[in-house]
Amino acid sequence: MSKKKYWQSFGELNHTESFQESTKNEFKEELLPLADLDDKGILDAKTPRRDFLKYLGFSTAAAAVAASCEMPVRKAVPYLKRPDDVIPGVANYYASTYVNGGDTISVVVKQRDGRPIKIEGNELSSITKGGTSAQAQASVLDLYDNTRLRYPMQKDGKGFKEVTSFDAFDKMVANSLAVVAGKPVVLLTSTVNSPSTLAIINEFIAKYPGSRHVQYDAVSYSGMLLANEVCYGKRAIPSYHFENAKVIVSLGADFLGTWLNLVEFAGQYAQNRKVTGEKPTLSRHFQFESMMSLTGSNADDRYTHKPSETGSIALALLTKLGMSLAPIKIADEKLLKGIEKAAAELNAHKGEALVVCGSNDANIQMIVNAINEQIGANGKTINWAITSNYKNGSDADVMKLVDDMNAGSIGAVFIQGVNPAYSLPNSKKFKDGLSKVVSVSFNGTMDETTELCKYIIPSHHWLESWGDAEPKTGYYSLLQPVINPLFKTRAYQTSLIKWSSAAGSLINDYETYFKTYWSSKLGSPDMYDKALQDGVVEPATMAIGSGTFNAGKLSDAADGIASIKTGVNEVVLYQKVSVGDGSQANNPWLQELPDPVSKVTWDNYVMMSPAMAKSLLNLDVMNQDGGKQSDYEVHPEKPVVKVTAENGAVVELPVIVLPGLNKDTIAIALGYGRESANKEETAINIGRSANGAGKNAYPLVSFNGTSLYSSMCRVEKTSAMYPLAQTQVHGFTESRPVIYETNLTSYSANPESILEEVTKEREAITIEGSKDFVKDATIYPDYEKPGIKWGMSIDLNTCTGCSACVVACTAENNVSVVGKRQVQRAHEMHWLRIDRYFTGDLENPDVVFQPMLCQHCDNAPCENVCPVAATNHSSEGLNQMTYNRCIGTRYCANNCPYKVRRFNWLDYTGADSFPDNQKPMLDKYMDESVMQMNEDLTRMVLNPDVTVRSRGVIEKCSFCVQRLQESKLDAKKHQDPTLVRNVKTACMQACPTHAISFGNVNDKESDVYKIRHVEQKHRSFYVLEQLHVLPNVSYLAKVRNTDRHIGVEEEHGGEMKKEEKAHA
Amino acid sequence: MSRYRKIFNRVLPALFLLVFFSINISSYAADGEALFKANCAACHKPDKDFTGPALQGWKDRVPAGDWIYKWIANSADLRESEPYAKALFAKWNKTQMTAFGSQLKKEDIDAILKYVDDWKPPVAGPTPGGQPQGSDDSLLFGILTLVLALIAFILLQVNSNLRKLSDEKEGVLRTEPVPFYKNKTYLMVGILLLFLVGGYYTINSAIGLGRQQQYQPEQPIFYSHKVHAGTNQISCLYCHGGAQDSKQASIPSVNVCMNCHKAINKYEGPDVLVRENGATVDGTAEIQKLYAYAGWNPTTKTYNSDNNNDGIPDGAKPIEWVKVHNLPDHVYFNHSQHIKVGKQQCQTCHGNIQEMPEVYQFAELSMGWCINCHRETKVDFYDKENGTGNKFYSIYEKFHQDIKNHKLDSVTVEKIGGTECQKCHY
């Protein structure tokens, strides 16, 4: 057994009593509806017999009623005129583009019987290469959001009234604009990288002289844009080439999570993290940051600091790289050593190194630019020939607009795709200003800003839209509608065209404009059709060029950095990979997606280091003797602290104690705490899932020329407690070894050493003289898999934990949303979860992400305990789950060593025969967000090929059996067995780093066979193989490129020592 | 103790008898039905003349003795010599009946004839469980059982009275006898009987829940498959094209109907269209109904204009057919798998649809029925030597070896996993 200790929580690390108590009860059953039994157990309760008889009587009566019902008469209604390209029951795929603000991902949309139901990455895009993000995966659910506005509206007293026709609406807007004629009209949008839309906006601005277009990003990159303007004379963001970088140093940039485009960067990054050949090379990744970000948790070496020190670190690095600019003293020894080490590596890899920085302070970004010049990144890993257009917002412009609005010098504001009343730190001032102008909102929902506007003309969802995007200069990605608009909405571009075009103009709508624009741009209608079909228009090869660097302002920048004040405590504001900037806050899939690092769902919170928790809250999570900490971790109730930022903004949030944070720094996620002006209306206007989820942290953002996402703060203890739904230890593995890990040097020296132990152990339990572990280490017979044997391989080296797979699985397999209260009781339904393990240094541990799903064991422990054979094995190696046979004993879940079986405790889907099953549960056990998923509109997102499970049955990963069956049918129709060689499961297809492979292991040409038995045979292991459950999912052991000791060899010295981690 | 043993001694034989009878009845009845459907139903109906004569009442018509067995074995032998056979052959336009000599044994024929005699026309509309589909004999046997039980009861009473008398005679003191309705033995037997009979019927009807074999709803348009697929020989796939591409066979959209019915506006077929309840149907009027749905004006022979700009002719609306074949929600069934890959005939599951004026559910569509077919059906296995069969199956190398070594002579659907849960449930 690997003696290296991996832990998911402090309780697990220290074996506290209450933690052990809590792990005994996997399903937290004491919290079930029968909780009124006062902990006495069912037999000692006051009225168990009567209750029993009541339930018995009811169920008998109910069964009798159900049995005597006549079969309902069902109708089959065919088309009146079937469209040529639709065959009922067969899915069509259309290329389009996920666009949310500047976020752009080329996708392929699966459309079944006219409904888009699943988003896949577009493999033709050279930027995203078929990868997707959690947000893109979840965006299909936004299309069916019940809070979407259904028709144009105008303000009517306190509420709104419908405007009956678009023409009437156009007239009203024209009249309003006539009143304010002479004053400028401002178009306030998110980053727009659509060339055709920009053209329309320019035409619009030409029509209204003095008007302007202001781009605003809720989480801004204007510091970087400013710095680049100074240094390179171009207000733009270059393209980054992580795939060309042997050394990557990130100063707080979460480039695998939320920085610019995670799909692009994770894909590039993974190229250099793949272990290939006997003597592999890996990129080396240093991360300097204040909190534990997703990117930091993937780093080879990670150092923490206060956010105010980012600039100092950049300066120190620059100094070490041979350019002295009045460095600032850094006290922390560890940090200094880290800087030295990083600088040495950067120096050694000039021309193949890259430094990125997440700060929005222009001065720091300028220093980072200088560093990149020093290491020769410009033109190699940083490409100025092709710039990125993901973010183009300007904080200064927005602030000026707010001032101008208040000063009364603005006539009208048209708002599209942004929600400044929520996301601006000075939103009060914005709201005041908005009341003084003619305000029109194109936003699709009644958000905080839209409800203040005078006119609302909702725009389409992107799945209903025509459009284009230019994520990188010269790289286009097109949108085409995959469903008719569900509601009476109109593309905002059409509105702009109508309001600016001359009377009698031929082009009156965006669709025509778009077609004309692209047909002429591409030359011929055939090219246009091909572009739409491909979804992307790209140059054949990517040009790489450098920018001309201007070092003139660097000393000013250094001075600016020197003036940054450091506080005792500081707060850093970040985004989660799930909820992001908050625009998708009403998406229950994203809300229920556990944060990769903290594993918390449905809320934001204050992340705090153990040291700070000890001094501030007297919460000693490191203490082995239990006491206060035990309760803290086991119970969902967490102490609430009051955080006061430097600008005076106050937010009260519960505390999550996590290792890996700087000890004086706290971190709070943005994007939560959506709230209507009238609190009561939040659930109706903004949505039931967003309602009550966390607190708004945007007011904590400070402004100093650009928005700054960190500040000094005061943290105070309060007496309040607040429950958080954390999935962290719901799938606890009892300290069994589940992960193997080593560093690059020892792997190169002896690749076999990484799995030495498990090999020995395998031999130990095999009958002597036999080498056949599969057959001769068990009393069970070995069943044949004569045709296909499905298998999956997951590379722990390239899995970044981004969780796109989890949402993809949810969407593909109709996985229920259970709501916050049910997650608190460990009732989450995700078929695929990402386990996060800490290891090593307690204050700054290494992190391993391990996607955990049903392992489809050939010797499955779940199968032989099922009393009704509802779960059994197929001849293709699938562990089959038959819902209609399951009676819900949950023996299987108890017997599963991987804890991947999920039980439908409540009627989450409304699939039960009794319609009133859900409502009575609402107040106490079930959240409104569950009901949100059961609306007729929302249910349109369900995959018709997958059963919607009802209450009382177990479910789990099926290896996307519907896809496997489809691939087999396809192979049989085409008489081609190679079509089942490499099949794509939903998780595999969503992965931006291609960490998952799947296919027919019996086929020696399949990817998964090659990985397991040829290319990666030294790294391929099965989790808990020693149990001889014979899983069909293998993992590739993690290899870190660091000189620290990692994994098994650490133990040769004996017991694990905390201080053993040498930073030398 | 001995007292209880006595009870068992009495009760057990009775139980055996009951179980024996009930099993016997059901298996007998089911056989006849299956055999009839497999062998006779294509040409004969129990109650109506069809390709061949109606079978009910055969006893009164045919010569006594083993004529009927001979006829079924090979009618050609009889019709030359025997006068009734000669007349029958002539009456039915010299349509030759298939010879079943090698296929049907005497018992089989008996079973079929018994099934035919007991057959009653199906009740229209869904049959929601409840009524077991057993034959009338169950009543007979039920009465018989009751009578036997009564006799047994009387005999037991007599026995106990006699014993009482003899005891009195011998001067043995016995306690006052309990009246029979308080007698534990009788009560127990009664309860057991009730439990068994009740359980039998409950389970049977529970199994039938949600199944609706013979379901024959009235459709919005009297659409006769017999006219289209039978008389006019239109291929099933012309209208139900989805069957080869999709999981759903799909009901044709109205524009598919109009492909032909733009020209065909009258019903002039040879057969009189008759509903199941005997009412005659005016085919031309039914075509007019279609025109209403399609928004077609038969006089001007054009579609109505689209004045409300909804993309369809004014007044047109899709037809709301009543779905006949319903599978439970948790079953995945794919038509193209069966039609394109399995090369099954539509009739295998849907019956002789080309003979049905109104569609009814021919097969049981139960899981047992599906599984049975999967067990028996052979896949189009790839033959490496000849290059025949579906090449996909070349991956089943072990079976190829087995066939080569004569361990296997063919591969059934079950062999390649066709009876595993997740082939249909996911």
Whether A70 maps to a domain, the answer reads no
- Judge: B252–A882 Cβ closer than 8 Å, yes or no: no
* pLDDT tens-digit readout, A253-293: 999 999 999 999 999 999 999 988 777 888 999 999 999 99
Indicate the domain borders of chain B.
41-118, 225-339, 366-426
- Alpha carbon distance A483, A475 (integer Å): 25
Q: Residue A649: CB partners within 8 Å, gap ≥ 6?
A: A425, A699, A700
Q: Which residue has the higher pLDDT, A174 or A504?
A: A174
Going by C-alpha positions, the residue among B226, B293, B289, B310 that lies closest to residue B254 is B293
* Cβ-based contacts of A70 with chain B (< 8 Å): 126, 128
- Alpha carbon distance A249, A301 (integer Å): 10
In degrees rounded to 5, what are phi and psi of residue B81? Answer: -100, -45
Residue in B closest to A911 by C-alpha: B329
CATH of the domain at A673: 2.40.40.20
Residue in B closest to A1003 by C-alpha: B395
Q: Which of B245, B326, B395 is facing A90, going by the closest CB pair?
A: B245
Residue A617 structure tokens: 């809250």
* pLDDT tens-digit readout, A513-551: 999 999 999 988 889 999 999 999 999 888 888 888 888
- Judge: A874–B420 Cβ closer than 8 Å, yes or no: yes
* pLDDT tens-digit readout, A600-641: 999 999 999 988 988 888 887 776 554 454 567 777 888 999
- Alpha carbon distance B339, B237 (integer Å): 10
Q: Compute the nearest-CA separation of A580 from chain B (Å).
A: 33
pLDDT for res B95: 66
Q: Residue B202: CB partners within 8 Å, gap ≥ 6?
A: none
Whether A665 maps to a domain, the answer reads yes
Residue B406 structure tokens: 């004569």
Residue A367 sits in the same domain as residue A402: no
> ipTM more than 0.85?
no
Q: Is the pLDDT of residue A1055 over 50?
A: no
End-to-end CA distance of chain A: 29
- Alpha carbon distance A259, A236 (integer Å): 15
- Judge: B425–A971 Cβ closer than 8 Å, yes or no: no
Residue A1040 sits in the same domain as residue A963: yes
CA–CA distances in Å: residue B420 to residues A614, A870, A871, A940, B119: 56, 11, 11, 30, 36
Which of A369, A387, A405 is a domain's end point? Answer: A387
CB-CB contact of A101 with A236 (8 Å): no
- Judge: B417–A874 Cβ closer than 8 Å, yes or no: yes
- Alpha carbon distance A836, A847 (integer Å): 7
Residue A491 sits in the same domain as residue A448: yes
Which CATH architecture fits B41-118?
Answer: Orthogonal Bundle (1.10)
Whether A180 maps to a domain, the answer reads yes
- Count the neighbouring beta carbons within 10 Å of the beta carbon of residue A689: 31
Residue A494 sits in the same domain as residue A367: no
Name the band, by pLDDT with cuts 50, 70 and 90, for residue A913: low
- Alpha carbon distance A197, A466 (integer Å): 11
- Alpha carbon distance A492, A362 (integer Å): 33
**Residue range of the domain that includes A798:** 736-1050
CB-CB contact of A248 with A287 (8 Å): no
AA identity, residue A873:
H
Q: Compute the nearest-CA separation of B117 from chain A (Å).
A: 30
Residue A709 sits in the same domain as residue A827: no
pLDDT for res A1057: 37
CATH of the domain at A853: 3.30.70.20
Percent of residues, chain A, with pLDDT higher than 70:
91
* Cβ-based contacts of A484 with chain B (< 8 Å): none
End-to-end CA distance of chain B: 54
Q: Compute the nearest-CA separation of B218 from chain A (Å).
A: 11
Count of positions (residues) in chain B: 426
Residue A693 sits in the same domain as residue A799: no
* pLDDT tens-digit readout, B137-151: 778 888 999 999 899
- Alpha carbon distance A264, A260 (integer Å): 9
Q: What is the mean pLDDT of residues A350-375?
A: 91
- Judge: B395–A884 Cβ closer than 8 Å, yes or no: no
- Judge: B316–A80 Cβ closer than 8 Å, yes or no: yes
CA–CA distances in Å: residue A71 to residues A41, A318, B128, B323, B368: 41, 77, 6, 12, 20
Q: Report chain A's mean pLDDT, rounded to a whole number.
A: 86
- Scored b (16 or more CB within 10 A) or e, B203-214 reads ebeeebebbbbb
For Cα atoms B312, B317, B323, give the angle at the middle one, nearest 5 degrees: 135
Residue A579 sits in the same domain as residue A704: yes
Residue A799 sits in the same domain as residue A938: yes
R_g of chain B computed on alpha carbons:
30
The SS3 of residue A569 is: strand
Q: Is the pLDDT of residue A838 over 90?
A: no
Contacts for A17-21: CB closer than 8 Å, 24+ residues apart: A17/A626, A17/A630, A18/A626, A18/A630, A18/A631, A18/A633, A18/A634, A19/A630, A19/A633, A19/A634, A19/A729, A21/A634
Whether A909 maps to a domain, the answer reads yes
Tell me the pTM. 0.83
Residue A414 sits in the same domain as residue A479: yes
CATH of the domain at A439: 3.40.50.740
Count chain A–chain B contacts defined by CB atoms under 8 A. Answer: 159
Mutation target to probe the A interface, by most A beta carbons within 10 A, among B383, B392, B423, B424 is B392
* Cβ-based contacts of A872 with chain B (< 8 Å): 420-421
Residue A207 structure tokens: 């029509």
| Residues in chain B where the model's pLDDT stays below 70 | 1-30, 37-38, 41-43, 50-51, 93-95, 98, 102-103, 122-136, 174, 177
Largest distance between two CA atoms of chain B: 108
- Alpha carbon distance A983, A989 (integer Å): 10
How many domains, chain A? 4
Q: Which of B318, B332, B396 is facing A80, going by the closest CB pair?
A: B318
Q: Compute the nearest-CA separation of A963 from chain B (Å).
A: 11
CA–CA distances in Å: residue A643 to residues A501, A666, A692, A711, A721: 51, 9, 19, 11, 15
pLDDT for res A44: 56
Q: Compute the nearest-CA separation of A856 from chain B (Å).
A: 13
Q: Say how many CA atoms lie within 13 Å of A679 toward its Cβ.
A: 2
Q: Compute the nearest-CA separation of A966 from chain B (Å).
A: 10
Residue A865 sits in the same domain as residue A995: yes
- Alpha carbon distance B268, B102 (integer Å): 42
Residue in the structure block whose two tokens are 């069809």: B50
CB-CB contact of A603 with A820 (8 Å): yes
Residue A351 sits in the same domain as residue A404: no
Q: Is the pLDDT of residue A961 over 60?
A: yes
Q: Which of A71, A947, A948 is facing B128, going by the closest CB pair?
A: A71
Q: Which residue has the higher pLDDT, A471 or B128?
A: A471
Name the band, by pLDDT with cuts 50, 70 and 90, for residue A215: very high
- Judge: B392–A975 Cβ closer than 8 Å, yes or no: yes
Q: Which residue has the higher pLDDT, A888 or A13?
A: A888
Residue A687 sits in the same domain as residue A752: no
Residue in B closest to A971 by C-alpha: B392
pLDDT for res A65: 64
pLDDT for res A242: 92
CB-CB contact of A1029 with A855 (8 Å): yes
- Scored b (16 or more CB within 10 A) or e, A404-436 reads bbbeeebbbbbbbbbbbbbbbbbbeebbebbee
pLDDT for res B114: 84
**Chain A CB within 8 Å of residue B329 CB:** yes
CATH of the domain at A357: 3.40.228.10
The alpha helices in A300-419, defined as continuous H runs, are: 310-320, 333-348, 362-374, 395-407
Of the candidate ranges A625-629, A714-718, A922-926, B355-359, the one whose mean pLDDT is the lowest = A625-629
Which of A726, A749, A768 is a domain's end point? Answer: A726
**Chain A CB within 8 Å of residue B320 CB:** yes
pLDDT for res B125: 45
* Cβ-based contacts of B126 with chain A (< 8 Å): 70-71, 73
* pLDDT tens-digit readout, A400-423: 999 999 998 998 999 999 999 999
Q: Which residue has the higher pLDDT, A561 or A5?
A: A561
R_g of chain A computed on alpha carbons:
29
Residue in A closest to B328 by C-alpha: A884
Q: Which residue has the higher pLDDT, B171 or A125?
A: A125
DSSP labels, A66-135: HHHSPPPP-EE---SS--TT--TT-EEEEEEEEEETTEEEEEEEEEETTEEEEEEE-TT-TTTTT---HH
Specify the DSSP class assigned to residue B412.
Answer: B
Whether A296 maps to a domain, the answer reads yes
CB-CB contact of A729 with A23 (8 Å): yes
